[in-house]
């Protein structure tokens, strides 16, 4: 019997570097909000957040309009805008390619690192991910740079 863990990663689109990640055995909306607070505490923080349509985000079903003419698909987007000043961009339903860069990173992480271990606890998963992300961000040759490692 194994444990089921969920991960959360923040990818900077321009550099394709993972700037923050975490894993949890039972992530909820409060946990996701805490991760956003942590990433926003370093400097400016993100202006936009592309996210999937997970049920924990409080889906409205139809876009809910506010007084200022803004509409939101979920309570999470409303919280992002009003509390953090970040525009939430949910990917379209049934279109995982709308978040292709992070989906590709998830596949690479799983194939190159996670599939090679039998994990015994959450800290073990975190440690393997942390080491792989360090390699991914700094030591891995980038095809965009013609296989020249970042300085």
* Segment 14-47, tens digit of pLDDT: 778 888 888 888 888 888 888 888 887 766 777 8
Burial zone of 45 (CB within 10 Å; 0-12 exposed, 13-18 middle, 19+ buried)? middle
Phi, psi (5° rounding) for residue 11? -110, 130
66 near 72, Cβ under 8 Å?
Answer: yes
Domains of the chain: 6-145 (3.30.420.10)
DSSP state of 121: S
Q: What is the per-residue pLDDT across 62-116, written as a single tens digit (0 to 9) for each?
A: 666 665 677 787 888 888 888 888 888 888 877 767 778 888 888 889 999 999 9
């Amino acid at each position: 019997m194994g444990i089921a863990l969920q991960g959360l990663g923040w990818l900077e689109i321009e550099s394709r570097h993972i700037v923050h990640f975490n894993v949890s055995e039972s992530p909820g909306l409060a946990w996701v909000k805490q991760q956003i607070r942590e990433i926003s505490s370093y400097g400016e923080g993100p202006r936009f957040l592309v996210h999937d349509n997970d049920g924990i985000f409080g889906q409205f079903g139809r876009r809910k309009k506010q007084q200022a003419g803004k509409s939101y698909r979920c309570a999470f987007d409303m919280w992002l805008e009003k509390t953090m000043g970040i525009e939430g961009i949910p990917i379209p339903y049934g279109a995982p390619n709308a978040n292709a860069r992070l989906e590709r990173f998830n596949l690479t992480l799983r194939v190159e690192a996670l599939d090679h271990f039998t994990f015994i606890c959450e800290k073990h998963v975190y440690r393997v991910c942390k080491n792989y992300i360090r390699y991914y961000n700094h030591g891995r040759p980038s095809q965009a740079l013609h296989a020249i490692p970042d300085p």
